[in-house]
Structure 1
């Protein structure tokens, strides 16, 4: 397996001793939430082993690495369509249940990571020095045409679902499609059921029109959990200003993406923490500090090799710009542990107030979850 910590040269945002003391205090006081990650450990040889590894769904959780992070809660997006246990195409119902069951069985034997199903679970994890893993699925593709499967997934612990992945499904259009027909009639019924059971909604991988339809149809705020500003870097993976504003106007929260070859800018064409935080500041200025957070979309291991391995399966070559300069990893945000600390360090270094830092690292997300999830 890959090293949990130290796979690449570690990077800490340079801060003074006084600033680092403030970072440590904020990390302890704040409820720190990742809106989107894959807290899994990859094989060392990703290109040759990842398909067999994921097909077993016996994914290793890097508890040692996570114990050194400052996350209180992580939306764990599991294997999503990468399990491929019963099919080479992914996103099958059986795969989803198998993956979820294996993960929950593992977590049931841990005393450090707990399953997060309610806001109170997140608060308890913070108070007890634990991490709440909140199961999530990036697309509704596995439900096929069965509305009741939403209730089943909610009952099994899923607390956030997407609408489409990059490819279209029966609900609407994915962002890799050339034509976006918007939300289908069945898709509208799915959004209503999401609202009814208390499922948080994510439109990160939906096409622009489909995402706009979801935000309009939903009676609850909607998340864009891992994204950047298309104005800064014009790729299909990102959302235009009007979509970001619409999400915020509905009361939703936008999480900033940090996976390799995504959040790049003209100022920082070689992706690192500075390019990621340029997207953060742009979107924060666009929609307001109350509607932004972080969904780094990181993992432990070679994420770039993972993209290469799955590029054709999930149409990633249509999502990322062809002229993107490849990097071996994102400096400062290489894994969930590094990302958790460096986000706070960067905010402290750049003069953000304690109040605003607490909002963007978790309070904004928590406020929406209190509104969307069933009260308990």
Structure 2
């Protein structure tokens, strides 16, 4: 399947010249593009109302169990894709131009870990166009062969307890990026929603050392400020924030301070800027890709173009009614304030992953060079992968 940007919909009005548009198309087609919090390739707008209604009918018997009910639509969508009943799964990924994106494990419990391992592996087993990226070269090879690469990641560690052997087993499964904590406190560190801002624990020091030894990248996206600073001090390998924003531009708990941005960059790491409407601008209904680019520009000015990337985290491969339910019933349980966090709003210019060329077009509009754009789109992530994975 080939990407034909000339017939793509959803082009954001950057008012580029014809020559700039041609340059953006060429750059987008030739670059290795990585979204390191890739919740796609689908989005609610890429799933028909008929399919959404059928999914809801399947989920209704589980409505009394909020966690199960909220999580079912995404599982059904991926199940349909694995059975070849959701062709948009492949089509949207190829239209996006994204070379590699993460495929996410859930490690909230042993049960969720085993289940998600099966679900993630099934994606690789059933899609002959999707390869598991264990090395940076796997991603380069996928680009050359017009395939897509999936990077196995996780955003929480609770299900591991203090079992470092299980962490090693996950590495052998393919885990290559792991976030230390998700919003709250665990055995390893304090999350960004913890008022105490406790930093990395004694066990957390051992955990980070084991990650360095294995070749698993330390991710600090949902970590508290002190945890981020501690991780940068303790890790012998580059540290990242796969999906975050700039605190100085929007003071949300999920955004990083200048001190954290500098600390991550000093390790040789990369800050991935997200496209979460509630976390980058004051009005989620009016958030545009220009606001996301403002965060990218700020990181570039603060720590240099070698230390910024993309980790959208939105939109989800989900359906609209499920996202509304998640915001009302689930988000408060996992550390979000009432009314805050994921729902149906999207960044204007990134309503679907097939609109991803708007990143490239936006960077062109802001005067970045071809080399700089290549770094932001994926080159910087590749440098970190090569440094940690080999």
- Give TM class, smaller chain: 0.7 to 0.9
* Corresponding position of 1:86: none
Please say if 1:276 is aligned against 2:292: yes
Counterpart for residue 63 of structure 1: 90
Q: Distance in 1 between matches of 2:262 and 2:126?
A: 42
Q: What aligned pairs does 1:1-376 form with structure 2 within 5 A after superposition?
A: 10-14=10-14, 15-39=16-40, 41=42, 44=52, 49=59, 51-52=68-69, 54-55=71-72, 57-60=75-78, 61=81, 62-78=89-105, 80=106, 91-264=108-281, 270-298=286-314, 299-301=316-318, 305=324, 306-317=326-337, 320=340, 328-338=345-355, 340-373=356-389, 375=390
1:211 is displaced (CA, Å) by 1.2
Deviations 1:12-59 (A, max 9, x none): 344332222111211122111112122264673699958337359455
Which structure features the higher share of helix residues?
2
Structure 2 partner of 1:4: none
Q: CA deviation at 1:330?
A: 1.4
RMSD: 2.6
CA contact (8 A) 1:172 1:181 kept: yes
Residues 167, 177 of structure 1: 8 Å contact kept = yes
Aligned residues: 351
Cα–Cα, structure 1 residues 313 and 53, in superposed 2: closer, same or farther, change >3 Å? closer
Cα distance, 1:261–1:362 mapped onto 2, change above 3 Å: same
> Residue 158 and residue 59 in structure 1: after superposition, are their counterparts in 2 closer, same or farther (change >3 A)?
farther
The verdict on how the C-alpha distance between 1:201 and 1:47 changes in structure 2, with shifts beyond 3 A counting, is: farther
Q: Is the 1:235–1:319 Cα contact (8 Å) retained in structure 2?
A: no
Cα deviation for residue 100 of structure 1 reads 1.8
Task: Say if 1:237 and 1:319, in contact at 8 Å, map to a contact too.
Answer: no
Name the stretch that deviates more: 41-50 or 164-173. Answer: 41-50
Unaligned runs of 5+ in 1: 1-8, 82-90
Secondary structure of the residue aligned to 2:37 is strand
Shift of 1:225: 0.8
Q: In the TM superposition, what whole-angstrom CA distance separates every residue of 1:277-303 from its partner, at most 9, and x where no partner exists?
A: 111111110010011111011224457
Distance 1:270 1:149 in 2: 44
Partners of 1:63 and 1:188 lie apart in 2 by: 40
In structure 1, what is the Cα distance between the partners aligned to 2:242 and 2:206?
22
Task: Mark the runs of 5 or more structure 2 residues left unpaired by the alignment.
Answer: 1-8, 45-50, 60-66, 82-88
Change in Cα spacing, 1:136 to 1:294, as seen in structure 2 (3 Å) is same
Shift of 1:143: 0.9
Q: Write the deviation string for residues 325-348 of structure 1: whole angstroms up to 9, x where unpaired.
A: x9732111223332x211101011
Q: Deviation per CA, 1:139-162, whole angstroms, max 9, x where unpaired?
A: 222211111111111111111000
Q: Tell me if structure 1 keeps the 8 A contact 2:41–2:92.
A: no
Deviation at 1:98, TM superposition (A): 1.4
8 Å Cα contact 2:208-2:235 kept in structure 1: yes
Normalization by structure 2: what TM-score? 0.83
